[in-house]
A and B are shown apart, each in its own frame.
Chain A
């Protein structure tokens, strides 16, 4: 009797897991307008950055920022305006958040910095008041919650965003923290960080 119940429970569990995988595979209709620039799995294209693996919270917040004008992009601003309705926005954000795979995880202290960018990421630079990027973006730049995943993001996109923070062209970061830190980065840091983060797979 007990084994029958156990078997039944396992079957239900199995069906549940299969359902979950299927739900991730299947893109919601609302996400289709995003594919041209961001790719069907949010992997990014030459037209738009990677969305795969960004948190739902972060994706939703960026749509808000494009609507409010804290971020600005000739293509993305009008697209975002079509997603003012949370009912439309949520499934899109959830879908892209569930894409991609975790990189190999390195926690702070595990790596001897192999490059200046890796040193900035895991150690920061106390002489310039730059905390380790790790403090908010986490192991191997996986991000979470309000902090974007940077692992595997396009190098040019990351560099362009850091420059936008520096110039005050991008806003809306929690507590203005990213803008404050970006202003302390040199042009070389910004290029190097873009390349370093893009290479984390």
Chain B
């Protein structure tokens, strides 16, 4: 049995109450959503804190109004929301291939956006980590993946929802001690496997807001993982486009799980606006995505293979947007 460390559990009933509780802890706390990520890390002894503040009892985090989705909604609730899936169809396959059905029952939207970065050196027992030599993210002096790195952790981003929200142009709404603020999701992440994003520790993800015109985008999420029953992404590509006939009017691209954050490839996307979405363009975009992705050895598969698969997944995403039939992974088992 994996033993959870001792902690105090606070169960506030409002966002304000939760933020106030967080401020009283002097930073030594974690917010608890579904717990499917945090409690695993606690059981592994990774960066546990003495206070856990549950957000499960805050009704305002569970609301959905049109394209505004509360951070506390479970992934299973989103998966069952046919209106949402009709408006934003790329989420249908994203959700179906996100973790397992059991984890989706309690895992939350905000929890998946904020999911902790993973690394073969980090997600081990405390005993194994000590034996291997602790890493920068957990009590060690330097990153074990990129040796000599003492100021940046290279653990891998493993969420599935953020890349899709990014290509749909979503904003993230945060509530903290200074009130609420909203920023584009593309500006939310920050390239370090420890901090991962610009959210202040006390801030809570209240909602993800999808713009009204996102409904007219064609989008695709292509995830590559080791086990098809359920697994974290070894890499993923999200893409969206607004088409004028076969001409690209607007294009968004994200390469995910190839770095500590989902990478917003705006410069590559901008190059291809106005082009026809033909095989030549698709090959060129996939080639650029391949060149721009530099995975490191933080996950199970070799970086060179994952880099190659960025090209494959980009091709599949753009072909799906074009309306081609693309390979669908085999059933769960």
Same complex for A and B? Answer no
